[in-house]
Amino acid sequence: MDYISTRDARRQRHTFSDILLGGLAADGGLYLPAEYPQLNDSDLTRLRTILNEEGYAALAGEVLTLFIDDADIPADDVRRLAANAYHTPTFSDEAIVPVAHLDNNLYLGRLSMGPTAAFKDMAMQLLGELFEYELDRRGETLNILGATSGDTGSAAEYAMRGRHGITVFMLTPRGRMTPFQQAQMFGLLDDNVFNIALDGVFDDCQDVVKAVAQDAEFKRRWRIGAVNSINWARLLAQVVYYISCWIRITNSNDEKVSFSVPTGNFGDICAGHIARQMGLPIDKLIVATNENSVLEEFFRTGRYQVDREALQTSSPSMDISKASNFERFVFDLLDRDASRIAELFGEQVPAGGFDLHEDPAFPQIAATFGFYAGTSTHADRLTTIADLHRRLDVLVDPHTADGIHVAKTVAQAQHITTPIVCLETALPVKFADTIAEAIGEAPAPTGRFAGIMDADRKVVDLPNDAAVVKAFIAEQLAARVDA
């Protein structure tokens, strides 16, 4: 299995271990498999048997070996790392990703069982294992720089805290996360974790990460890597739960399932696109956005316009106007034309966006790739949360409510009859104010989260300036070396 950059017209090939510790390719593109592995009927039957008889970790190990065949990472080690990542009590349910029926043809894929109660744990726990393994094998260290609009940061920090040879620097948009999310991140006092509150929005944080990644000398000197969803290994981990959800609600391999996915950065649903390209029987992939509807506008009109500031909403993890992983889908949409991708994302996106509505590929978004999209507002979130709580005694977070609302509206408009799995974003306790507005009371932090709001905080405020961020990183790493 070789990997290529979305912007490399020469199609230079790389191994999994070559790209594991990095984020962006040197040309600014994103890595994807040179060819997607294909699942035939016997493969699907084998994966179904593995999940049913051995569990999620075994399924993950089997899927990962389809993408990781380096001599440097033997298949037995891949399976062992998957077993280390997905187990109780790190995950609170033995199924790891249980699936619950809501009503009619709607299901809920429960991705909140991990240590930070967010779907990001599904990838980060595996990433921590893979990073530590590869660094130990090389005898090297890695300094992770990431950006988060909500849950990525805490999931990354919990996955990497205390790991040998790894330091984490996480950028957050100051004041843009919920109090619970801030407490969860800033409450980590580990020596290898640094929280940076940037004066800006999430897109600013993401731009700083990209600016640092494109400074080849700084990146090399300070061994900078990424854990945002631009990292291929993280996306790969997410492919697994599409397969497991499909297995859990089907009985035979000819049954199709659709997915509705709340998304701002296009990482979660991009994993679904990859699973579908592999041959998993996915019918439709429904992109659910909030008031920051840049992605919905593209799927409806063909215009991807990012020259706007993200609005602050009650589903903050989706408050994004530039979706980092979107490039991977457009690469496939445009028949993997790396030269066009380099122009679209390297030149036109920085200038404000691009328009594909007259491109012959545009009709294929739905016809060939199965994508539809819809938006959800604050009022829609409140109504959905209250309705599910009243009728089904089910409480969902605002992002998941976006996904459920959009699933219903798109299913009705497009006459979708296959089961629709709405992928959960996080536990409702992380968004207490919105839940209280919807049902009249806030869920209290209990169990593993009791007392989290009272913990000490460790965070530094910095301006929206890549040079200042780089100086801070260099200062902290130099101090760690001297110590």
Please give the positions annotated as active site.
120
Q: Among candidates 298, 288, 245, 297, which has minimal Cα distance to 399?
A: 288
Measure the CA–CA gap between 223 and 38, rounded to whole angstroms.
35
Would you give the DSSP letter of residue 14?
A: B
Phi, psi of 46 (to 5 degrees): -65, -45
Q: What do you get for the CA distance between the two ends of the chain, in Å?
A: 41
- Show the tokens assigned to 202: 């999430």
- Residue 95: how many CB atoms within 10 A of its CB? 15
SS3 349: coil
Phi, psi of 221 (to 5 degrees): -60, -45
- Show the tokens assigned to 325: 């992983």
| Exposure string for 334-348, b = 16+ CB within 10 A, e = fewer | beebbebbbebbeee
Q: In the Cβ-directed half-sphere of 414, how many Cα atoms lie within 13 Å? A: 23
Q: Is the peptide bond before 89 cis (omega within 30 degrees of 0)?
A: yes
